[in-house]
Amino acid sequence: MNSNAPLDTYTLSQIHSTLQAVVRKEDWKEGLDILLASFRDEFVYDNVAIYTLDAQANGFDVIYARAVGRGKHAEADASWGEGIAGHVVEKKEIIIETSHAHGDTSRLDLPHLIGLPLYIGGRLSGALVFVRFAGPVYTTEHIRLASLISLWTASLLERKALQDARVELESVQRQMRLQDDFVSTISHELRTPLGFIKGYSTSLLRQDTTWDEKTQHEFLTIIDEETDRLAQLIENMLESARLQSKTIQFKFQPLRLDALIRDVALRVRVHNPALEIKPEFEDMPPILGDSVRLSQVFENLFVNAIKYAPGSPIIIHLERGKNSVRVAFADNGPGISQGYLPFIFERFYRVPGQSITGTGLGLYICKQIILAHHGKIWAESIMSQGTTFFIELPIDSMP
Ligand code: ADP
């Protein structure tokens, strides 16, 4: 392109078709791939990367990197351009760094770098950096073309920011709907045990009736059980709030997961003597964990299996992976439909249309505890066949 000449027909139609292809891509990275590839004949480069200022603006995040030439730098290691990106942001202008050959320098030791500022939403937010090994130095036309590419890149990044904001907004909206549902669920959940406690204690206190000892015992048992239910509910609410605000102190120490699960199973059996639990454990190495919190996770899984898969045996398979231990906690209850499965670990989420009561906090609590152990939890389910919860916890790393 001559800087004084109008854009020729070829260039115009090339720009037009490139832009058309770019705007049709929903994924901004795919759009950027097309954009950068389409100009590679006119603007040769080996590697390209985008550096955006991190939240504290004292370092960079590499949000895009491609190695298209024979450059020695892998895409995963994009540290090569961080220095020039820093200069671009500091000087707020295009920076060019050119190496000069002396002696028998290898091609790869002669990088020519060009860094261009990226303005996103009117703010200088990072830099687009190209590197070319040896090859010609950048001409005025190259710089103009690179500048044009950087403007398009910035507009793609604006689109990414919008997409991210929309995803966030949708998640907040869903959370608000769940909060609304939660208020009605929780009022029901609180009122039911309170109603029992009030009803049976008022009956016991009536002056005009005397209750025989058996009936008194029956009423007091109900009051006792409903008080436990209420206490558990309040504890779950507080626990989920503490986990959400990350104010819980975990006490990590070496523990054996097989022993921990066996202990929980014994306690669960006390209240559910008919429950069939089938442990399939191999020899487990110790892991670092908080035994109280991890017990809570398995208690929740037991409570759910008893509630949602009544009468089903529970198979707990424990195996050792390369760097982790994996638990599969399976029931053969009614299952969870695929459409609901992605949401069950969200705070307050309950599968709609079920008659069984609950608050939607149990699995949220489980997930937060497992995440605090640097582990993973997920569920797989087949309708009418059952649900399996998987937990993976690292063996060596200190959380
Ligand atoms: P809650 O039990 O209070 O509703 P949870 O967070 O423990 O809250 O569970 C979320 C939802 O996941 C439940 O409403 C239930 O529909 C579903 N669920 C959990 N465990 C099982 C299971 N073992 N089988 C079928 N559905 C389950």
Does pLDDT of 256 surpass 70? yes
- The confidence score (pLDDT) of residue 109 equals 66
Q: Is 386 in the pocket of ligand 1 (CB under 6 A)?
A: no
- The confidence score (pLDDT) of residue 1 equals 45
Does pLDDT of 22 surpass 70? yes
- The confidence score (pLDDT) of residue 267 equals 95
Tokens linked to 44 = 């040769």
Q: Give which of 340, 271, 266, 338 is closest to 306, Cα–Cα.
A: 271
Q: Is 240 in the pocket of ligand 1 (CB under 6 A)?
A: no
Q: Is 304 in the pocket of ligand 1 (CB under 6 A)?
A: yes
Q: Is 344 in the pocket of ligand 1 (CB under 6 A)?
A: yes
Q: Please give the average per-residue pLDDT across 224-234, as a whole number.
A: 92
Q: Is 66 in the pocket of ligand 1 (CB under 6 A)?
A: no
Q: Is 331 in the pocket of ligand 1 (CB under 6 A)?
A: yes
Tokens linked to 398 = 């200190």
- The confidence score (pLDDT) of residue 280 equals 94
- Separation of CA 351 and ligand 1 centre (Å): 7
| Average pLDDT score over the chain | 89
Residue of 239, 336, 341, 385 with the most ligand 1 atoms within 8 Å of its CB, for mutation? 336
Which atom in ligand 1 lies closest to the alpha carbon of residue 362?
Answer: 7
Q: Is 236 in the pocket of ligand 1 (CB under 6 A)?
A: no
3-state per-residue secondary structure call for the chain: CCCCCCCCHHHHHHHHHHHHHHHHCCCHHHHHHHHHHHCCCCCCCCEEEEEEECCCCCCEEEEEEEECCCCCCCCCCCHHHHHHHHHHHHHCCCEEEECCCCCCCCHHHCEEEEEEEEEECCEEEEEEEEEEECCCCCCHHHHHHHHHHHHHHHHHHHHHHHHHHHHHHHHHHHHHHHHHHHHHHHHHHHHHHHHHHHHHHHHHHCCCCCCCHHHHHHHHHHHHHHHHHHHHHHHHHHHHHHHHCCCCCCCCEEECHHHHHHHHHHHHHHHCCCCCEEEEECCCCCEEECHHHHHHHHHHHHHHHHHHCCCCCEEEEEEECCCEEEEEEEECCCCCCCCCHHHCCCCCCCCCCCCCCCCCCHHHHHHHHHHHCCCEEEEEEECCCEEEEEEEEECCCCC
- Separation of CA 187 and ligand 1 centre (Å): 19
Q: Please give the average per-residue pLDDT across 28-46, as a whole number.
A: 89
Taking the alpha carbons at both ends of the chain, their separation in whole angstroms is 56
Give the number of other CB atoms < 10 A from CB of residue 83: 14
Span 113-140, pLDDT tens digits? 999 999 988 899 999 999 988 777 888 9
Which atom in ligand 1 lies closest to the alpha carbon of residue 365?
Answer: 6
Q: Is 377 in the pocket of ligand 1 (CB under 6 A)?
A: no
Does pLDDT of 182 surpass 70? yes
The better pLDDT of the pair 30, 187 is held by 30
- Separation of CA 198 and ligand 1 centre (Å): 29
Residue with the smallest CA separation from ligand 1 atom 24 is: 308
Residue of 181, 182, 308, 385 with the most ligand 1 atoms within 8 Å of its CB, for mutation? 308
- The confidence score (pLDDT) of residue 2 equals 45
In which band, very low, low, confident or very high, does the pLDDT at 12 lie, cut at 50, 70 and 90?
confident
> For the chain, which domains are there?
7-162 (3.30.450.40), 169-244 (1.10.287.130), 253-394 (3.30.565.10)
CA of 210: how far to CAs of 98, 195, 200, 204, 206, in Å? 99, 21, 13, 8, 8
Q: Is 71 in the pocket of ligand 1 (CB under 6 A)?
A: no
The better pLDDT of the pair 70, 373 is held by 373
Q: Is 368 in the pocket of ligand 1 (CB under 6 A)?
A: no
Most confident of 24-33, 187-196, 301-310: 301-310
Does pLDDT of 78 surpass 90? no
User: In angstroms, rounded to a whole number, what is the distance separating the alpha carbons of residues 296 and 242?
Assistant: 14
Span 310-362, pLDDT tens digits? 999 999 999 998 899 999 999 999 999 999 999 999 988 999 988 898 889 99
Does pLDDT of 221 surpass 80? yes
- The confidence score (pLDDT) of residue 244 equals 85
Span 257-278, pLDDT tens digits? 999 999 999 999 998 999 999 9
Residue with the smallest CA separation from ligand 1 atom 27 is: 308
Q: Please give the average per-residue pLDDT across 81-100, as a whole number.
A: 92
Residues contacting 315, CB < 8 A, separation 6+: 278, 280, 328, 329, 330, 331
Q: Is 350 in the pocket of ligand 1 (CB under 6 A)?
A: yes
In which band, very low, low, confident or very high, does the pLDDT at 75 lie, cut at 50, 70 and 90?
low
Span 133-174, pLDDT tens digits? 877 788 898 899 899 999 999 999 998 888 899 999 998 998
- Separation of CA 341 and ligand 1 centre (Å): 10
Does pLDDT of 375 surpass 70? yes
- Separation of CA 344 and ligand 1 centre (Å): 7
Q: Is 295 in the pocket of ligand 1 (CB under 6 A)?
A: no
Q: Is 388 in the pocket of ligand 1 (CB under 6 A)?
A: no
Residue of 243, 300, 350 with the most ligand 1 atoms within 8 Å of its CB, for mutation? 350
% of residues, the chain, pLDDT over 90: 60
